[in-house]
A and B are shown apart, each in its own frame.
Chain A
Amino acid sequence: MTLPSGPGIRVDTHVHAGYKVSPYYDSLIGKLIVHAPSRAEAITVMRAALAETEIEGISTNLPLLCMLFDDEGFAAGGTDIHYLEKWLKQRSAS
């Protein structure tokens, strides 16, 4: 497991190499947080942070998060609460 680090990057997590994810609770294993002067810069920092993150042994939503941060509509901002579900539907149809 590799977690990102560097200026403007914060990881809130309790997991570590060897940690067993319990099926009894919420599936959240960590939160990746970035901070930068502007939205565009924060997107760049997040893309790099996501690319640096490696979690093996379990399946996670990291691929989905990477794709979302590469999505032009999301990068442009102002997406509505239906955007992600529509986006997922389109992807599964194509």
Chain B
Amino acid sequence: MTDIRKTSAERKSGFDTVLIANRGEIALRILRACKDLGLKTIMVCSQADRQASYGALADTSLCIGPASAGKSYLNKDAVLLAARLTGAGAVHPGYGFLSENAAFSEAVEEAGMVFIGPTAQSIANMGDKIAAKSAMIAAGVPCVPGPDSELPDDHASVEAIASKVGYPVIVKAAGGGGGVACAWFPTPASCMNRSRSPVKRLGRPSESQRFTWKSSSSTRAISKSRYSATCMETRSGSATSDCSMQRRHQKVIEEAPAPGIAPDIIGPVAQACVKACLQIGYRGVGTFEFLYEDGGFYFIEMNTRLQVEHPVTEMTSGIDIVQAQIKAAQGIPLDVDQNDIKENGHSFECRINAEDPRRSSRLPARLRR
């Protein structure tokens, strides 16, 4: 039997049908991008989303399991089966769910379809925050102070490292994304015997018994700034935004460009991000997240997927990031390079959340004036 596994260079790139393995606003956003590119769409949904009207906009829609995400949107086998049954040529994972699941990326490509996202290797490397930091140091991307290796088990050694880095410090689970699996310790006393808390919070002790450190000051202004860098072959691009307005480490408002950060400071960091993408063989859309303090950027992590807040970058750069991502997966070269990207004007995004969906009722059927 021939090996159907394809490397990124020789993988099948031509496709005319995209299966959208997500729900909600991002599923609709991807559907629109596919339609604009003349591609056919397949929408998969759970039983809870069966009545959602956006499903009817797709060429085909398919219910793949019960409401529980683990049995539907996170069920790799169900999504793959739906893709095979409907003859999809590519799978777009959106954000969340299976978007940063290396095994899923690999399974899609082993089945002879295109995963609209990076290779399994890239996802795995960037998902391990320690491996990611080593790769960024190698590419010359400025990183947060602290060791680029896992912490020892005994508390005395942990304390010694924290003191060397300088308080306040942040401890983060190596396998954790975003701000969920990190803890901030302003003083040695606050850190005492609690440095494992981020791993516990992640709830996956078997795969996350490692953590990495970073330090930041709470007294000086720190804004979390990010680069959205799309990269493939030798062309790539990046633009900035700021997502400092956070609640429980989750973003509420995002804006682009990041206020108060001069473009001449950003330039070299943007070039370093592009270089890093090329060095790690990254393909498609990805985001570098940094802490910014007193003129310095410190790499925290790379998100190997489309961001929730991609629209702010689209508004200021004039680039349709979702379309660019799909075209990259089709093997169509990006028509801009880093020097062509000009940020124009200012953009904000507000995330509108239902505050307590468990108590919510249906939205009124009629609009009220």
Interface residues of A (CB under 8 A from B): 1-2, 10, 12-39, 41-43, 46, 50, 53-62, 64-65, 68, 74, 77-85, 88
Contact = CB atoms under 8 A, between A and B. Distances in A.
B27 interface: yes
B353 A60 contact: yes
Contacts of B315: 10, 33, 35
B223 A62 contact: no
- A-B residue pairs, 9 tightest by C-beta: A77-B259, A35-B315, A58-B360, A59-B355, A42-B346, A18-B365, A39-B346, A27-B353, A78-B260
Contacts, number: 199
Contact of A17 (B311, B353, B360, B367): B367
Contacts of B255: 39, 42
Q: Is the interface of B mostly helix, strand, loop or mixed?
A: mixed
A73 to B, nearest CB: 11
Interface stretch (B45-53, B151-159, B202-210, B325-333): B45-53
Chain B interface size band reads 35 or more
Contacts of A53: 352
A22 B67 contact: yes
B96 A78 contact: no
B263 to A, nearest CB: 14
Interface-central residue, B218, B221, B360, by most chain A CB under 10 Å = B360
Interface stretch (B75-83, B103-111, B242-250): B242-250
Interface in B155-205: none
A29 B23 CA distance: 11
